[in-house]
Amino acid sequence: MLSVFLKLQVKFRLQVISLTLPQVRDRFDTCVCVCVCVCVCSVMEGDHITTLSTPVMVVDVDIVKRNAEKMREHWTKLGVTLRPHMKTHKTLECGDIMTGGSRSCIVVSTLAEAGFYADHGYDDILYAYSVPFDKVERCAVLAERLSLFQVLLDHRDALEQLRKRPLTDRRVWHVWLKLDCDNGRAGVLHSEPEALRLAQAISESEGVELTGVYAHCGNTYGCRGAEQIHAVAHETTTLVLQFMEKLKAVGISCKSSIGSTPSCSQPISDMAKLSEVHPGNYVFFDVQQSVIGSCGLEDVAVRVLSRVIGHSPHRNQLLLDCGWSALSLDGAGKLPTGYAVIEGHPDLRLLSMTQEHGRVEPLSGQLDYSRYPLGTLLTIIPYHACATAMMHSVYYVHSGGRLVGKWTPTRGW
């Protein structure tokens, strides 16, 4: 009994948090400081991940470091600057691993990320999202605060917005032109005469500098295997380099950047002619990347742990405590094993999910329920790590199955 009590004392940390509550001040006029005791149930470092309450996302830090190192090696060898994207994890710790501790030269997808990294000493941040008009002022504040904060645009109206908000201290807006090289999302189409005209307008604008040309080859996500990835990477690289030649012909020189995890994991030699690349997902990888051919399943650093919470023999199904709120719905209809891969159980399919429940069925035949008693822990490899990570407010980090820490991502826009 005593040993159980002592163990509980270790496991349940009592934290005393001092709070200043305006409501309390209003009510009592005097008392502004309240001490609240919160009993925080915490799993300790060194515990095995199987002791975690589920559903939970776990990250293998050794695989993260290996993925980051491999990507760095590729691009150091090719002499191209690697500007890693933070969008997949949005954490400080993983950013430090991706930047090799330099806290410099990153891409972000939201201004919340930009502010978060800036607050933690990062600099040279590229906000690679067509600059939203409601956020110009926040961008200006960052541009006036950091030594290098860069924005991206693909429309004259956005340029006009920047011109209307000149930066103080003789600073200039550092602008990347987003070029659509047949990815089919944001960007001015590479073949449109407007692409060159917009680049000229940026470089001729007072208080604005054309820093580079940015093309995201998200169309590599439709590829299967190295050959197809190489073909898209080659096409995007060629189109960007041709555009750089057009710029040169009108006397403009600036940087060039392309990237996606598939193209940057399987680089082609032509990419050595670029200034930068900007992949992000590679630090975690996922089932989708293994299907594309960017990695093997052994390179995937993230898992969602889940437990069996129900048997439904009348439907030949198991019920899990992992619904879409722990995994996301990304991956629907993409895999023979359903929304994800259940590690070590290739005979199972994650058939459907509601918010807090997952239904699992065998690929064929009858379920052997004796193999999955209630409480059985199942390890799920996500289809899309970026989407799954977004579902979690904390990631539990482990090395060889033993917990080494927690990473807390930033959220919002």
Ligand X SMILES: Cc1ncc(COP(=O)(O)O)c(C=O)c1O
Instruction: List interacting residues with ligand X (CB under 6 A).
Output: 85, 107, 128, 216, 218, 259-261, 278-282
The amino acid present at 116, given as its one-letter code, is F
Instruction: For residue 278, give every residue at least 6 positions away whose Cβ sits within 8 Å of its Cβ, in sequence order, or none.
Output: 83, 84, 85, 107, 126, 128, 214, 216, 257, 258, 259
Q: Which is nearer to ligand X, 117 or 317 (CB)?
A: 117
Q: Which is nearer to ligand X, 378 or 387 (CB)?
A: 387
Nearest distance from C-beta of residue 150 to ligand X, angstroms: 13
CB 406 within 8 A of CB 394: yes
78 backbone dihedrals φ, ψ, rounded to 5°: -85, -5
Nearest distance from C-beta of residue 216 to ligand X, angstroms: 4
Residue 336 CA from chain centroid, whole number: 25
CB 188 within 8 A of CB 198: yes
Q: How many CB atoms lie within 10 A of CB 134?
A: 8
Q: Which is nearer to ligand X, 107 or 308 (CB)?
A: 107
Q: Which is nearer to ligand X, 263 or 317 (CB)?
A: 263
Exposure on the CB side of residue 282, measured as CA atoms within 13 A? 30
305 backbone dihedrals φ, ψ, rounded to 5°: -90, 140
Nearest distance from C-beta of residue 273 to ligand X, angstroms: 19
Q: Which is nearer to ligand X, 91 or 281 (CB)?
A: 281
Instruction: For residue 50, give every residue at least 6 positions away whose Cβ sits within 8 Å of its Cβ, in sequence order, or none.
Output: 305, 377, 401
Nearest distance from C-beta of residue 125 to ligand X, angstroms: 13
Nearest distance from C-beta of residue 104 to ligand X, angstroms: 17
Nearest distance from C-beta of residue 284 to ligand X, angstroms: 10
Nearest distance from C-beta of residue 200 to ligand X, angstroms: 23
Q: Which is nearer to ligand X, 85 or 230 (CB)?
A: 85
CB 274 within 8 A of CB 237: yes
Q: Which is nearer to ligand X, 75 or 305 (CB)?
A: 75
Task: Name the nearest CA neighbour of 94 among 124, 55, 120, 56.
Answer: 120
Q: Which is nearer to ligand X, 107 or 304 (CB)?
A: 107
Q: Which is nearer to ligand X, 296 or 313 (CB)?
A: 296
Task: Name the nearest CA neighbour of 346 among 338, 354, 334, 355.
Answer: 338
Helices (H), 29-155: 61-78, 92-98, 111-119, 136-145
Nearest distance from C-beta of residue 94 to ligand X, angstroms: 13
Nearest distance from C-beta of residue 228 to ligand X, angstroms: 15
CB 177 within 8 A of CB 196: no
CB 379 within 8 A of CB 303: yes
Nearest distance from C-beta of residue 134 to ligand X, angstroms: 19
Q: Which is nearer to ligand X, 84 or 358 (CB)?
A: 84
Burial class (CB in 10 A: 0-12, 13-18, 19+), 222: exposed
CB 45 within 8 A of CB 235: no
